[in-house]
Amino acid sequence: MDRKQFLKTCGLGCLGSIAAVSLLNSCSSARSMNSSIDGDNLVVPTSDFGNETHGFRKFIVVNNDLLKFPICVFRHTADSYSALWMECTHMGAELQVFGDTLQCPAHGSEFSDRGVVRNGPADRALRSFPISIEMNLIKISLKKQ
């Protein structure tokens, strides 16, 4: 291997390392957590989304053993959140979340961070839950509407 080829190989190796670190960092900003149910509400501390100093997560996936599917909670602003049932409205597969999009691994439907269909075959919005914020706690009402 000559000098030029050696430098080219090392450069590509460094780029690969940087890409891998960036990918790991983006994964660490996502968060999945178990949350408690208090009465009719699933309760999530606002601090779980981060803070001014370290930045805010765009979403958290919340689980509870009593729930058949997780709920994805998106933070839009300090006092605006969406809580979306992660069951695809097409045929009921569990959705995956990437950035501001929920995607279905079964047939490719996509939903926005407010539950609106972006791409079919699903043709109905996701189930969403009313939210109230009290004492830095996000309360997601699980009451049937």
Which residues are at the interface with ligand FES (CB under 6 A)? Answer: 88, 90-91, 93, 104, 106-109, 121-122
Nearer to ligand FES by Cβ, of 105 and 130: the residue is 105
Smallest gap from residue 127 Cβ to ligand FES (A): 14
| Per-residue tokens: 118 | 């972006």
Helices (H), the chain: 3-28
DSSP 25: H
Nearer to ligand FES by Cβ, of 100 and 110: the residue is 110
Smallest gap from residue 128 Cβ to ligand FES (A): 17
Distance, CA of 143 to CA of 145 (rounded, Å): 6
Q: Give the strand order in the sheet containing 59-63.
A: 32-34, 59-63, 71-77, 80-85, 128-129
Nearer to ligand FES by Cβ, of 33 and 93: the residue is 93
Smallest gap from residue 96 Cβ to ligand FES (A): 11
Smallest gap from residue 42 Cβ to ligand FES (A): 23
β-partners of residue 84 are: 72, 128
